[in-house]
A and B are shown apart, each in its own frame.
Chain A
Amino acid sequence: MALKQISSNKCFGGLQKVFEHDSVELNCKMKFAIYLPPKAETGKCPALYWLSGLTCTEQNFISKSGYHQAASEHGLVVIAPDTSPRGCNIKGEDESWDFGTGAGFYVDATEHPWKTNYRMYSYVTEELPQLINANFPVDPQRMSIFGHSMGGHGALICALKNPGKYKSVSAFAPICNPVLCPWGKKAFSGYLGTDQSKWKAYDATHLVKSFPGSQLDILIDQGKDDQFLSDGQLLPDNFIAACAEKKTPVVFRLQEGYDHSYYFIATFITDHIRHHAKYLNA
């Protein structure tokens, strides 16, 4: 399908671009940001997908996180899609900041009126990678995923639901156990209905219990002064306990004094990029 370039800026020797395309899964026009490192001029590079959190678009990550230098050095193509379908004119999509527009929760909705457009899970795991592989110099065999908050939840579930698809996964302040937190309950009941068994399929803490391999190496950074942590929205302990039980390798770092913002992300983004580079460039 046709890609329309919206913007292009040179950064750390590479190019930060934004494209727009017609999404089949989401039935609307979608934008995504893509960073092509200098190495991409001469060969195929691995791909790293970033999933942003509530209220974000494709712009927040590329403007605020300061990831370009590390991506350029390690030679990674970084793709940051939007967080939900836009302009679908669904009733109620703009009512709350934590449900609907900007809050896709990376699920394939089954409930009306969301099920036509709100298929972010399939978009992120199927349509977008196919589009990227076909149009950019990426190695389809080497792919990793990470994200922040709702995007952290998205990264974890994509990796746990697709063993072997992603070489590595990491997250910033992820929503680890949505079925038990207010955000999750609100979003899942809206997108997936009241059958909680359907919810578990998109819950990292549950998914890890049945994750077949222990091949994943998960890095999680969590700001200690994150209000959403204290609000019980994130629930990392549950996830860690489940991973310890299943012997899934996790290093969870509680960072003193840091909050939920992009300042926190910017501080540790280099560590995460290096974490992924270790596996993508191996």
Chain B
Amino acid sequence: MTSAPRGAARGTSQRDLEEDADELVHLYGLEDDDELGDEFADETMPRIEVSEYPAAEQRDWRLSGEAAEAEDLGFGGWGSEGQCQDLREAYRYAHGRASEEYECYVIPEEEDEEEAPDVFCATCKLPLRALEKVLEEHKGHEVTPLSKALESAKDEIHKNMCRLEKQIIEMENFACHLEEVFITVEENFGRQEQNFESHYNEILETLAQKYEEKILALGEKKKEKLEALYGQLVSCGENLDTCKELMETVEEICHEEKVDFIKDAVAMADRLRKFLETKTDVELAAQPALEDQTLDFSDVEQLLGSINTIPAPSAPVINPQAPSSATGSSVRVCWSLFSDDTVESYQLSYRPVRDGSPGTDHTESTVTVKETYCSVANLEPNTQYEFRVTAQNRAGLSPASERAVYMTAPSPPVIKSKEVRSCEEAALIRWESGNLNPVDSYTVELTQAEAPGAAGVTESVVGVPTCEALVQLQPRQSYAIYVRALNVGGPSARSEPATVHTTGSYFRLDEQTCHPWLAISEDGLTAVRSERKAPTREPPPRSTRFSRCVAVMGNLIPVRGRHYWEVEVDERSDYTVGVASEDVPKQEDLGANRLSWCMRHTWAAPRHKYEFLHNKTTPDIRITVPPKKIGILLDYENSTLSFFNVDISQHLYTFSCQLPQFVHPCLSLEKPGRLKIHNGIPVPKHVALY
């Protein structure tokens, strides 16, 4: 009915309450009246859910109190509505406005809402009503609004909870650690035990051995002596026998006749004489005492002594090279000891790895260190070195570890800054490896050189296989571009940067394509044809050089976008400017074939003649103001090549040209003169229309 299962953490007061309620219900037979029972249940249920606060205790006794009163109302059962009503009201009153649900941290309201406390006296640590503050007790005390006090109390509790949590974690970690230490102690004990046992056994064996030896020796000695003595005894016996025999013989002789007696007596006398002359050795052949033998216990002593000494260490294990732990001149070698040996120092030996003959003239260097790592410096870049390490303590040296090969990082590459080409969307960078031997790959790094000192984002292009990279860039920015070489040892230091401005297109004239009569300036932007016809030296003709037309080509970045540049020209000179593809026939004039498009100016005083040549054809165009600076717009997307008079923003002519291949700027001087290229110019507005 009303006693639905409740949560476990309610406390005994709760049980009592429930039981009381149930008792009462049963007592007054309320289950007969469902409606009433429900109402009553509703009244009681929320109250019963109140769990934590002393207020519940108060209700407890009140309930019992009321119950007592209710009991007095009369036992005779329950039946009349009126009585039922009274009881209900009695309960309702007794329990106040308690029909709301309570949450954990909310302080339940007091009986009289109008007079509920709304401030908190910090001094007395009591909740009060604001009015009470002005009373004597709390005059001059610090008072805060109740809600604020609630907040700060909550905060305090919360903070302490956090600290508790932290402590839990700490203790758990420490417990784990202790477990590990436990295990280590066990291990160490095991090792020591083993060690001692083996030592001890050795000693015992040695002692046993000594005992055996000693006893054996003694036995030998005894045997010797006894044999000697026995020998003596035997010879004594023989002697005695001989004596007895002689005696008997002499006695016999004495009983003989005089003649025989004399014969025998003389012989006997000789015999006797001889016999008695032989010395009888009555010295003991062997002394009874067995000499004391000094036992050599020195090796046992040594063994006993070595129980307390530590053994020489076992071989360390050298680690493989950690990635990117090397620099161009150093490597960081690490190793570890897989036993509990005491080690005083390590000796690290190394020498460079050379291909081919495992020669004997490798100078091996050795370093002594105390740690299990060593940064070895003064090495050659991009070189492999072989390392091995031995551990050392008082007892001696361990065996050497396996050999490990470490490699130093490469030297930084050198960017060919004169060959950098760029446009608004990309740059083409070329560099020299900077290393004699090959490296694994290169990394190109770019940062926008916007705010000096600001930590800009560095973009990296990794795994560049050759000494060239085309990188995508944002227009109208400045970039610093670096290159690193990479091998197993790690990356090299950064190269010197190349600066790229992505405003307009940048290119230089290519000396390789230059006709011998043209001189290109240092910055690769000016071509000069001097008065002299024959140059001082005539280099051999090459397929890359223009041979007939006194021309030169530039190296434009191979990006299919829009490229704009300007050429400063001499009004009085004969020149040609335009574009051509890389494989334009170098023995032909510019514009004489399908691989070149150009504007040609011929000055035949007073007339200026202008031609726009492609495949030997030109439209008929007259221009009244000779341009001093020609703007050239190459537009791959629209397949057009346009020429402009920069100074008066005048459009001169546009080629529609199919450009399946990449083309490069080209220019030639039909008469002595000078042409200068201006780069890095953003497409002017008037040009952009074309």
Residues of A within 8 A of B (CB): 214, 217, 224, 240, 243-244, 247-256, 274-275, 277-278, 282
Contacts and interface: CB of A to CB of B under 8 A. Distances in A.
Contact of A240 (B622, B645, B652): B622
Q: Which of B619, B625, B652, B689 has the most CB of A within 10 A?
A: B625
Contacts of B624: 240, 243-244, 247-250, 252
B649 A251 contact: no
Nearest to B688: A278
Contacts of B690: 274
Nearest to A222: B620
Given A249-B648, A251-B650, A274 B689 contact: yes
B619 A248 contact: no
Contacts of B689: 274, 277-278
Interface of B: 608, 619-625, 645, 648-653, 685-686, 689-690
B620 A217 contact: no
B622 A217 contact: no
Given A250-B624, A277-B689, 9 more contacts: A214-B625, A244-B608, A249-B625, A250-B622, A250-B625, A254-B621, A254-B622, A278-B686, A278-B689
A274 B625 CA distance: 20
B57 to A, nearest CB: 79
Contacts of A255: 619
Instruction: Identify whether the interface residues of A are mostly helix, strand, loop, or mixed.
Output: mixed
Contacts of B625: 214, 244, 247-250
Given A224-B620, A240-B624, A249 B645 contact: yes
A256 B619 contact: yes
21 contacts: A214-B648, A217-B649, A217-B650, A240-B624, A243-B624, A248-B624, A249-B625, A249-B650, A250-B625, A251-B621, A251-B622, A251-B651, A252-B624, A253-B619, A253-B620, A254-B622, A256-B619, A274-B690, A275-B651, A277-B689, A282-B686
A127 to B, nearest CB: 32
A240 B624 CA distance: 7
A136 B40 CA distance: 87
Contacts of B652: 251
Contacts of B649: 217, 278
Nearest to B625: A249
Contact of A250 (B623, B653, B686): B623
Q: Please name the 4 residue pairs, one residue from A and one from B, whose CB atoms are nearest each other, closest first.
A: A254-B620, A243-B624, A244-B624, A252-B622
Most buried by A among B608, B645, B650, B690: B650
Contacts of A214: 625, 648
A217 B645 CA distance: 11
Contacts of A277: 689
B274 to A, nearest CB: 163
> Which of B624, B625, B648 counts the most A-chain CB atoms under 10 A from its CB?
B624
A251 B619 CA distance: 12
Nearest to A237: B622
A278 B690 CA distance: 10
A256 B620 contact: yes
A214 B648 CA distance: 10
A278 B645 CA distance: 14
B626 to A, nearest CB: 9
A254 B685 CA distance: 27
A195 to B, nearest CB: 30
A207 to B, nearest CB: 15
A248 B689 CA distance: 22
A244 B622 CA distance: 10
A278 B649 CA distance: 9
Nearest to A281: B689
A46 to B, nearest CB: 14
Contacts of B650: 217, 249, 251
A237 to B, nearest CB: 9
B421 to A, nearest CB: 30
